[in-house]
Amino acid sequence: MSQITRRFLLLAAPLVMAAFAAAPGMAQQLSLNEVSGYLNSFTSAEGEFTQINADGTISTGTIYIKRPGRIRFEYNPPEQALVMAGGGSVAIFDPRSDTGPDRYPLAETPLKIILERNIDLSRSGMVTRHDSDGTTTTVTAQDPQNPEYGNIQMVFTSDPVELRQWIVTDDTGSQTTVILGDLTKDGRVPDILFNIQRETANWQD
């Protein structure tokens, strides 16, 4: 896998916990059922994100999610890259490339865990870490059948429950962080945003 492919695949998909303002008092650790219930409570979402890449560089942009199986990262200038998943594939559009997007199966990335139709983190072998620091709850999950694909570490706040950050670790151990702003849930997120074939044609024009 090329450096540019790995960089954007990670989404990278880990900001540091200092990015979270400490909530007053101690928050109770969320159960896996509560976390799964939150993730299943909406099918689409959009918002701003900040990404810390494996090489320490920082990117920003807009994220669109539509379960099952669809996600889109639009990167702000000067990056102007695009990562999207749809139809079972992930495509990475690099503006510096003239050969079209890099593509690979969504099933081989840890992001598929949060894009499933029905998310159940209580499945045997899926969660490898589940703890709380008194302010946030951290859940690290992997594909039980294919742990070699890496994992996704998700950080949640409570009252109300919100996903605030994830860190994707790939098959080489390289990590990338995505920090989420406030997500607008179940709004109008058009399916066309996740059409890789259409996006490929647009980039080639």
For residue 160, whether the previous peptide bond is cis, meaning omega lies within 30 degrees of 0, is yes
The band of 8, judged by pLDDT with boundaries at 50, 70 and 90, is very low
pLDDT digits (tens, 9 = 90+) for 104-124: 999 999 999 999 999 999 998
* CATH code reported for the domain at 3-200: 2.50.20.10
State both tokens at 177: 């962080």
% of residues, the chain, pLDDT over 90:
73
Q: Please check whether residue 14 is in contact with residue 168, taking contact to mean a CB–CB distance below 8 angstroms.
A: yes
Return the domain boundaries, the chain. Answer: 3-200
State both tokens at 70: 């669809």
Provide the pLDDT for residue 98: 75
DSSP calls for 121-169: TTSTTTEEEEEE-SS-EEEEEE-TT-GGG-EEEEEEETTTTEEEEEEEE
What is the spatial distance between Cα 10 and Cα 109, in angstroms, rounded to a whole number?
8
pLDDT digits (tens, 9 = 90+) for 138-188: 999 999 999 999 999 999 999 899 999 999 998 888 899 999 999 999 999
The band of 15, judged by pLDDT with boundaries at 50, 70 and 90, is very low
16: which residues sit within 8 A by CB, 6+ positions away?
A: 177
First to last CA, the chain: 27
Instruction: Please give the model's pTM, rounded to 2 decimal places.
Output: 0.85
Provide the pLDDT for residue 96: 82
